[in-house]
Amino acid sequence: MATLYSTTCRSISYSLTPSSSSLSINGQNHQRLNFSSCIAKRVLPAKVSFHSRRNFHLNVVLMQDGAVATPVTPVENETPFKKLKDGLLSSVPSTKEIKEAATFDVNKDESTVSITVVGASGDLAKKKIFPALFALYYEGCLPEHFTIFGYARSKMTDAELRNMVSKTLTCRIDKRENCDEKMDQFLKRCFYHSGQYGSQQNFAELDKKLKEHEGARVSNRLFYLSIPPNIFIDAVKCASSSASSGIGWTRVIVEKPFGRDSDSSAALTKALKQYLDEDQIFRIDHYLGKELVENLSVLRFSNLIFEPLWSRQYIRNVQLIFSEDFGTEGRGGYFDNYGIIRDIMQNHLLQILALFAMETPVSLDAEDIRNEKVKVLRSMRPLQLDDVVVGQYKSHTKGGVTYPAYTDDNTVPKGSLTPTFAAAALFIDNARWDGVPFLMKAGKALHNKSAEIRVQFRHVPGNLYNRNFGTDLDRATNELVIRVQPDEAIYLKINNKVPGLGMRLDRSNLHLHYAARYSKEIPDAYERLLLDAIEGERRLFIRSDELDAAWALFTPVLKELEEKKIIPEYYPYGSRGPVGAHYLAARYKVRWGDLGIEQ
pLDDT for the residue numbered 417? 93
Q: Are 124 and 226 in contact (CB under 8 A)?
A: yes
HEC sequence for 377-406: HHCECCCCHHHEEEEEEECEEECCEEECCH
Identify the sign of the CA torsion 211, 215, 220, 223: negative
CB 43 within 8 A of CB 64: no
* DSSP codes joined into one string, 414-472: TT----SEEEEEE-B-STTTTT--EEEEEESSBS--EEEEEEEEPPPTT-TTHHHHTT-
Q: Is 27 left (phi over 0), alpha (psi -120 to 50) or beta?
A: left
Question: Can you give the pLDDT at residue 35?
Answer: 35
Q: Is residue 191 classed as helix, strand or coil in its secondary structure?
A: strand
Residue-wise DSSP of 271-319: HHTTTS-GGGEEEE-GGGGSHHHHHHHHHHHS-TTTGGGSSTTTEEEEE
Mean pLDDT of 494-498: 77
Using pLDDT thresholds of 50, 70 and 90, give the confidence band for residue 596.
low
From the candidates 348, 396, 447, 459, give the one annotated as an active-site residue.
Answer: 348
Q: Could you tell me if 239 and 272 are in contact, meaning their C-beta atoms sit under 8 angstroms apart?
A: no
Q: What is the mean pLDDT of residues 61-72?
A: 41
Q: How many Cα atoms occupy the beta-carbon half-sphere of 390 within 13 Å?
A: 21
CA distance 1 to 14: 8
Phi-psi map region of 53: left, alpha, beta (phi>0 left; psi -120 to 50 alpha): alpha
So what's the pLDDT on residue 464? 67
Residue 65 pLDDT level (bands cut at 50, 70, 90): very low
* Position 102 confidence tier, pLDDT thresholds 50, 70, 90: very low
Distance CA 120, CA 154 (A): 9
pLDDT at 127 over 60: yes
Reference 273, options 299, 254, 300; nearest CA is 254
The pLDDT of 120-138, averaged and rounded, is: 90
Residue 51, pLDDT above cutoff 50: no
Confidence of residue 523 (pLDDT cuts 50, 70, 90): confident
CA distance 403 to 297: 40
Q: Give the N- to C-terminal CA distance of the chain in Å, as an integer.
A: 48
Q: What's the pLDDT at 78?
A: 44
Supply the pLDDT for residue 108.
46
Question: 170-193 burial by CB neighbour count: b if 16+ within 10 A, else e?
Answer: ebeeeeeeeeeebbeebbebbbbb
pLDDT per residue over 456-495, tens digit each? 998 877 676 666 665 555 666 888 999 988 888 888 887 7
The answer to which of 18-22, 113-117, 265-269, 444-448 has the lowest mean pLDDT is 18-22
Separation between Cα atoms, residue 251 and residue 533, nearest integer Å: 8
- pLDDT of 312 > 70? The answer is yes
Which of helix, strand or coil describes residue 345?
A: helix
What is the rounded distance in angstroms from the CA atom of residue 323 to the CA atom of residue 344?
Answer: 10
Q: At what angle do helices 232-242 and 200-214 cross, to 10 degrees?
A: 50
Cα–Cα distance measured from residue 558 to residue 271, given in angstroms and rounded to the nearest whole number = 23
Q: What share of the chain is helix, strand, coil (3-state, %, to 5)?
A: 40, 25, 40
- Average pLDDT of span 385-402: 90
Average pLDDT of the chain is 79
pLDDT category of residue 517 using cuts at 50, 70 and 90: confident
Q: What is the DSSP string of 481-524?
A: EEEEESS-EEEEEEEEEPSSSS--EEEEEEEEEHHHH--SPPPP
| pLDDT beyond 80 at 50 | no
- Note the residue count of the chain: 599
Residue 83 banded pLDDT, cuts 50, 70, 90: very low
**pLDDT tier at 152, thresholds 50, 70, 90:** very high
Average pLDDT over residues 491-505: 78
pLDDT per residue over 153-165, tens digit each? 999 899 999 999 9
Cα–Cα distance for residue pair 424/404, rounded to 1 Å:
26
Mean pLDDT of 324-344: 86
Instruction: Report the relative pairing of strands 421-426 and 401-403 from DSSP bridges.
Output: unpaired
Nearest 5°: the CA angle 257, 261, 266 is: 85
Average pLDDT over residues 524-532: 90
Which is more confident, 473 or 415? 415
111 close to 143: Cβ distance less than 8 angstroms: yes
Annotated catalytic residue 447:
no
Q: Which amino acid is at 587?
A: R
What's the confidence (pLDDT) of residue 181? Answer: 84
Tens digit of each residue's pLDDT (9 = 90 or more) over 158-207 = 999 999 998 888 876 556 667 788 888 999 999 999 999 989 999 999 99
Q: Which of 53-62, 329-338, 466-475, 533-542 has the highest mean pLDDT?
A: 533-542
The tens digit of pLDDT for each residue in 271-288 reads 999 999 999 999 988 888
140 in Cβ contact with 128 (< 8 Å): no
- Amino acid identity, residue 138? Y
Q: What pLDDT is recorded for position 340?
A: 93
Query: For the chain, what percent of residues have pLDDT higher than 70?
Result: 77
CA distance 368 to 360: 9
Kind plus residue range of the DSSP H or E element containing 236: helix 232-242
Find all residues with CB under 8 Å of 197, minimum gap 6, and list them. Answer: 118, 153, 227, 231, 234, 235, 238
Cis check for the bond before 131: say yes or no (omega within 30 of 0).
no
Residue with the bigger pLDDT between 575 and 473: it is 575
> Which conformational region is residue 253 in: left (phi greater than 0), alpha (psi within -120 to 50 degrees), or beta?
beta
Asked whether the predicted pLDDT for residue 103 surpasses 50, the reply is: no
Higher pLDDT, 495 or 363: 363
In the prediction, which pLDDT does 563 show? 93
Q: Which SS3 state, helix, strand or coil, does residue 192 take?
A: strand
